[in-house]
Amino acid sequence: MIFGSENAVPKYSVISMLDISYELTRTKKEKPDQTKLGFGRYFTDHMFIMNYTEGKGWHSPRILPFQNISLSPAAMVFHYAQEMFEGLKAYRTPAGEVQLFRPEKNIERMNNTNERMCIPKVNPDDALQAIRAIVDVDRDWVPSVEGASLYIRPFIIASDPYLGVRISNEYLFIIILSPVGAYYEQGINPVKIYVENEYVRAVKGGTGFAKVGGNYAASLIGQKKAEEMGYAQVLWLDGIHRKYIDEVGAMNVFFVIDGKVVTPSLDDGNILPGVTRASCIELLKSWGIPVSERRISIDEVVEAHKSGKLSEAFGTGTAAVISPIGELNHGEKMILNDGKIGPISQRLYDNLTGIQWGKLEDPFGWTCKV
């Protein structure tokens, strides 16, 4: 039998090719100055939206003028935080084309998050089609100045108006776009990081591997504390032993110890599997630089620093790509590589940004044109 009872259950919604309806704006906004974009302050002319209704699946995909949405104050997302989000970028190449970087990885992660949050999955082909369609409609918003890009924010919220605690029966899948500036306007500046010893971000069995607003809400207090002490971000330790390194702020973290690159493994489920993280690992391997994914304790990092073996540390994420760490404070201050960017961080930064903006050849097939 080809269709066993299990195989007969569709894994995704029944739509396989989205029939997107378009309502385009007549009054396009004036575009902001590309050299003063900052992050997440401006939004493009349109948005993508699609509904989910229990029994019907995902339906009514549409592109509309960017606008406010109307929700019941009882919508479940406001009360019990059943929601998820993603983040990726569209880049303008020197030839003026628009390209995405590994969008299928974000879509795969979106469905892993959905599974953890009991949100219905979205057919990966549909999600990719939706991303491409909205970027295509607003393609003149993809900036062309050095280092700027169009940030893509897909997200899903539980919209069922009900105050009981259960899984929502209704959702909205929305994609909004925001032109963003170069992360480092005055060249790459290594950041000062505070090792957080009181609060935790994630714990085994929790939602650390899922990209959800709740993780961020829980992390704000640690971020506030670090900022008050003059630090840019927090280095999070694991919630059980308060010993193993998880992440830095909203980035994955790498260390170069004794010429070898190490990054926390994803095995415990408290680390967000970054697309930038995965790409750095693949690049390092392709260059023959040893890289291992394993548990790293803060004590090992302190020891390596004391013995002069800790040469570089850096965060990775879509926003900054590579964020070198110039200082780590774990009771005492550790200055890394004289507070300057190290050679491995710089090489990763140059290669990743080169591929993303289409200035270097893409030997891995990571980019796709819109």
Instruction: Answer yes or no whether residue 84 interacts with ligand PLP by CB under 6 A.
Output: no
Instruction: Answer yes or no whether residue 239 interacts with ligand PLP by CB under 6 A.
Output: no
CB-nearer residue toward ligand PLP: 129 or 279: 279
Tell me which stretch binds ligand PLP (CB under 6 A): 44-52, 269-277, 333-341, 352-360: 269-277
Q: Which listed residue (107, 272, 281, 352) binds ligand PLP by CB under 6 A?
A: 272
Q: In angstroms, rounded to a whole number, what is the distance separating the alpha carbons of residues 23 and 27? A: 12
Q: State the minimum distance, in angstroms, from the CB of residue 177 to ligand PLP.
A: 16
φ, ψ (nearest 5 deg) of residue 362: -110, 80
Instruction: Answer yes or no whether residue 247 interacts with ligand PLP by CB under 6 A.
Output: yes
| Residue list 188-207, contact with ligand PLP (CB under 6 A) | none
x/- track of binding to ligand PLP for residues 285-324 (CB under 6 A) = -------------------------------xxx------
Q: State the minimum distance, in angstroms, from the CB of residue 47 to ligand PLP.
A: 21
Instruction: Answer yes or no whether residue 251 interacts with ligand PLP by CB under 6 A.
Output: yes
Best CA proximity match to 253, nearest among 244, 116, 216: 244
Q: Which helix (H) or strand (E) holds 65?
A: strand 57-65
Instruction: Answer yes or no whether residue 252 interacts with ligand PLP by CB under 6 A.
Output: yes
Q: State the minimum distance, in angstroms, from the CB of residue 230 to ligand PLP.
A: 23
Q: State the minimum distance, in angstroms, from the CB of residue 363 to ligand PLP.
A: 20
CB-nearer residue toward ligand PLP: 103 or 120: 103
Q: Are strands 57-65 and 21-22 parallel, antiparallel or unpaired?
A: parallel
What lies within 8 Å, CB to CB, of 71 at 6+ separation is 77, 78, 157, 159, 161
Instruction: Answer yes or no whether residue 179 interacts with ligand PLP by CB under 6 A.
Output: no
Q: State the minimum distance, in angstroms, from the CB of residue 215 to ligand PLP.
A: 6
What lies within 8 Å, CB to CB, of 236 at 6+ separation is 196, 200, 201, 202, 219, 222, 245, 246, 247, 248
Instruction: Answer yes or no whether residue 138 interacts with ligand PLP by CB under 6 A.
Output: no
What lies within 8 Å, CB to CB, of 196 at 6+ separation is 222, 225, 226, 234, 235, 236, 237
Q: Are 157 and 172 in contact (CB under 8 A)?
A: yes
Instruction: Answer yes or no whether residue 87 interacts with ligand PLP by CB under 6 A.
Output: yes
Instruction: Answer yes or no whether residue 99 interacts with ligand PLP by CB under 6 A.
Output: no
Q: In angstroms, rounded to a whole number, what is the distance separating the alpha carbons of residues 34 and 144? A: 8
CB-nearer residue toward ligand PLP: 170 or 362: 362
* Residues recorded for the chain: 370
Q: State the minimum distance, in angstroms, from the CB of residue 271 to ligand PLP.
A: 8
Q: State the minimum distance, in angstroms, from the CB of residue 86 to ligand PLP.
A: 8
| Shortest-Cβ-distance residue relative to ligand PLP | 274
Q: Are strands 191-195 and 321-330 parallel, antiparallel or unpaired?
A: parallel
What is the Cβ-side half-sphere exposure of residue 162, based on CA atoms within 13 angstroms?
12
SS (H, E, C) 114-152: HHHCCCCCCCHHHHHHHHHHHHHHCHHHCCCCCCCEEEE
Q: In angstroms, rounded to a whole number, what is the distance separating the alpha carbons of residues 322 and 280? A: 9
Tell me which stretch binds ligand PLP (CB under 6 A): 2-10, 149-157, 253-261, 272-280: 272-280
Q: Which listed residue (211, 284, 320, 326) binds ligand PLP by CB under 6 A?
A: 211
Task: Specify the residue for token string 């699609």.
Answer: 50
Instruction: Answer yes or no whether residue 277 interacts with ligand PLP by CB under 6 A.
Output: yes
Q: Name the residues that contact ligand PLP, by CB under 6 A.
A: 87, 211, 247, 250-252, 272, 274-277, 316-318
